[in-house]
Amino acid sequence: MHVVKKSDLDLNTTLNLLVSKEQGAVHCQAGIAKVAANGYIPEDGWSKHPTEEISYVIKGKLRVETPSAKREICEGDVVFMPSNEPHRNVNLTDEEALIFWVTSPPTL
């Protein structure tokens, strides 16, 4: 078992890796991404990886973009991203946004 307490999070960083190979995960990894006010993740270009990804918006209003689509999302929304699909998240507000994400299999 691996437990991450809220007090262990460092939300001053862009990426908090919560579960990974380091903790023994074989089939998934999870983390929290912070998107700065009016910022992007990734800051340049697209994120693309050989894993499926599920994201849950904890806080904020964002636009998730792929080369062929753009969708606005907000707190409580869930996004599924197929493997190898280029994507990015754009913060649409003047406040930071938080996204909980899970990918399978782990790559970090």
Q: Which helix (H) or strand (E) holds 100?
A: strand 97-104
Query: Domain residues of the chain, as ranges?
Result: 28-103
What was the pLDDT predicted at 13? 86
What was the pLDDT predicted at 96? 96
What was the pLDDT predicted at 44? 93
Q: How many CA atoms lie within 13 A of 4 on its CB side?
A: 12
What was the pLDDT predicted at 6? 87
Write out the two tokens for 45: 């270009």
What was the pLDDT predicted at 10? 85
Rg (CA), the chain: 13
Q: pLDDT tens string for the chain (108 positions)?
A: 889 898 888 888 898 999 999 888 999 999 999 999 999 999 999 999 999 999 999 999 999 999 999 999 999 999 999 999 999 999 999 999 999 999 998 887
What was the pLDDT predicted at 68? 97
Which of these, 86, 60, 84, 54, lies nearest to 73 by C-alpha position? Answer: 60
Q: Does domain 28-103 have CATH number 1.10.760.10?
A: no
